[in-house]
A and B are shown apart, each in its own frame.
Chain A
Amino acid sequence: MSVSITPLVASAVAAALPLLIAALGELVTERAGLLNLGVEGMMLLGALASFVAVTHGAGLPLAVACGLLAGMAGALVFGLLTISLQASQVATGLSLTILGTGISSFLGRGYVGYRAPASFEPIAVPWLSDLPIIGPLFELNILGYAAVVIMIAVGWLLARTRAGLALRSVGESPVVARALGLKVTRIRYAAVLFGGAMAGLAGTYYALAQLKMWQEGLTSGNGWIALALVVFATWRPGRVAIGALLFGGVTALGLWLQTVGVGVSTFALASLPYLATVVVLVSISADQQALRRFAPAALGKPFFDGD
């Protein structure tokens, strides 16, 4: 049994990284008080942009830039509607997902089944990657290492810097933050755009580091799982990583059971991550007091800078 643990960890880590990236972006957005349900849509936009870029001869760095920008473009629309035009955050996020899904399947039509001519490959850290069980943590691709760096940076930024404090106060009480002289609108736009960039990066991960080919809806609901992860992590960056690994673990377990050939339908195993999300949401949400203590107080509430 112990022999097969290491590949299991490897596939858990692989499934966890894009979730981690997207969830960190959404976490920052939500800490600024905005609930963006468009993660799935922005991920698909980022995935498409990076894949198209690579297919037309762009190098990987340029493709990543395209992915980031596409995610940010989606986020900008969300920001314009919810921050500047006071539209409902829930409805706008949903429509961003619908629009992103539509655009990616429309423009991606001609690329279905194409393989990416360039992709991100694992880079092993000498010696460390040979360790049993935790070895796979030291054999990531560049985007994977970037995810770890981003996680540490977000944690540090939120907890230890003036900018992080400003962001958090905007999410706790925009009225007070404005009275303190903070530029609420500007901070919220920055947070939303960061969320979009991370969703775009996660999409890039799926397109160029995981599947390495284009298929319609290739993010298969992981944007929504990332949203659930933020709740699971009670809005704390370190816990997002734990949650992402857990979800990655469930996915990996399902895949592993399929290959071993247990007497359970592959479809039942494929539904594990979604069911796990429900179970996790239920168990976290049941403790309303803890949730209220950690949730940004102004999350999802409209704030009009002109009053």
Chain B
Amino acid sequence: MIGFELVRRAAPSQAMQVIAPLQAVLLTLLAGLGLFALLGQDPLHAFHQFFIAPLSTPNGVSELLLKASPLCLIGLGLAIAYRANVWNIGAEGQMYIGGVFATGLAIHYQQQWGAFMLPSMIVAGALGGMLWAALTAWCRARFHASEILVSLMLTYVANLLIKYLVFGPWQDPQANNFPLTVAFEDNALFPLLAELGWDWFEGTRLNLSIVITLLAIPLAWVFSQRTFAGFQLAVSGSAPGAARYAGYKESRAVWIAMLMSGAAAGLAGVSEVAGPIGQLNDRWTPQYGFTAIIVAALARFNPLAVPVAALLMALLYLGGESVQIELQLPKSISEVFQGLLLMFLLGSEVLVRFRLRRRVSAARGDGQ
């Protein structure tokens, strides 16, 4: 039918594991050129506006880091979970609840708790994310319910919970019925890097929460590569039969994977509400929790590759905003690029396990 066929490789190709993501990025960029041309834009100009212009100023770079940080944090947690074959796709909801827990402390106690406010919010956010993830873990570990569907359903519920809070009990009385809480005070906000004497970041929104992400990267790597629990998770994911034979409990893997990815998502939620947002409202996230799924996949679940993937996805967000302002294209073009990138990645990854061979002859080839 087609001139080529797939042949299974004896062992997965090491080289292709590196090449496949790069190939996917390249294909996405090419598709981007084509898409811009289809939309009647000068492809090179639009391409420049999307991928280059956002990075040409210090402010642009700091916005990139500001977006990459939560993506990276959630992506690290998801990479660990997916490695264990636990498909937590509800990180978005776990992030919401992390933000809700932190906000609950901030709006009720920010007068009394002084310097303990922010650290408490960080802990509360992580716990919130873990709690929401625990619901899914319990349904999966105890009742074998699909963690994919349960975690996603709970994301819709978490979204409605936020709506209830900001339209109801937590609404700022002075907000003219806008769905938002009071703005947090300084002790409930991450300090800006510029205020801490980093002059290069003067005038930017980059804040100290990026430190959490920077700490999480080596921690995630150490956990997955150097600890027994990390090893057990990886075995449960790649060879469930061997894991059972070795006596590793599947439910344990589910709990660890869900709680870790939930905590990471919850922390990302705190870094948003106590960072650039500075309050809770009903549409504070550009779906970092879903985009982080692509981050984890693009990094091939390798914690050290997650930051790179997160930067790339953050650039897609910025590019979308840039072409919206400069070329009046809808911002949601970012989502199209995200989806395309993931599709190309999945298509490219076939070459890790298979190679292409020219079909010898149709009659002999199909073994009839």
B163 partner residues in chain A, CB cutoff 8 A: 267
Which residues of B, 343-365, contact A by the 8 Å Cβ criterion?
A: 343, 346-347, 349-350, 353-354
Answer whether residue B294 sits at the interface, using C-beta atoms and an 8 A cutoff.
Answer: yes
Given contacts A95-B294, A99-B340, A278-B139, contact A90 B157 (CB under 8 A): no
Which residues of A, 79-105, contact B by the 8 Å Cβ criterion?
A: 80-81, 84-88, 90-92, 94-96, 98-103, 105
- Decide: A99 and B336 in contact? CB cutoff 8 A: yes
- Decide: A98 and B354 in contact? CB cutoff 8 A: no
- Interface of A, secondary structure class, is helix
Interface centre among A101, A224, A228, A278 (most CB of B within 10 A): A278
- Decide: B139 and A274 in contact? CB cutoff 8 A: no
Which residues of B, 313-361, contact A by the 8 Å Cβ criterion?
A: 330, 332-340, 342-343, 346-347, 349-350, 353-354
Can you name the residue of chain A whose Cβ is closest to the Cβ of B2? Answer: A84
A101 partner residues in chain B, CB cutoff 8 A: 335, 339
Answer whether residue B299 sits at the interface, using C-beta atoms and an 8 A cutoff.
Answer: no
- Decide: B161 and A98 in contact? CB cutoff 8 A: no
- Decide: A282 and B145 in contact? CB cutoff 8 A: yes
- Stretch from B5-13, B60-68, B203-211, B260-268 at the A interface: B5-13
How many residues does chain A have at the interface if contact means C-beta atoms less than 8 Å apart?
51
B246 partner residues in chain A, CB cutoff 8 A: none
Interface string of B128-147 (1 = CB under 8 A from A): 00000000000100011110
A102 partner residues in chain B, CB cutoff 8 A: 332-339
B294 partner residues in chain A, CB cutoff 8 A: 95, 98
A284 partner residues in chain B, CB cutoff 8 A: 145
B337 partner residues in chain A, CB cutoff 8 A: 102
Q: Which of B87, B146, B346, B350 contacts A281 (CB 8 A)?
A: B146
- Decide: B146 and A285 in contact? CB cutoff 8 A: yes
B350 partner residues in chain A, CB cutoff 8 A: 85-87
Given contacts A77-B343, A106-B335, contact A278 B156 (CB under 8 A): no
Bound CA–CA A86/B20 (angstroms) = 14
Bound CA–CA A288/B141 (angstroms) = 12
- Decide: A109 and B160 in contact? CB cutoff 8 A: no
Bound CA–CA A225/B156 (angstroms) = 11
- Interface of B, secondary structure class, is helix
Which residues of A, 270-299, contact B by the 8 Å Cβ criterion?
A: 270-271, 274-275, 277-278, 281-286, 288, 291
Given contacts A86-B354, A274-B154, A274-B156, contact A98 B346 (CB under 8 A): no
Answer whether residue B148 sits at the interface, using C-beta atoms and an 8 A cutoff.
Answer: yes
- Decide: B336 and A91 in contact? CB cutoff 8 A: no
Bound CA–CA A249/B149 (angstroms) = 20
Name 18 extra pairs, CB < 8 A, besides A102-B336, A304-B8.
A81-B346, A81-B347, A85-B347, A87-B347, A90-B148, A95-B339, A96-B339, A99-B340, A102-B337, A225-B153, A228-B149, A265-B164, A267-B164, A278-B150, A281-B139, A281-B145, A281-B150, A285-B145
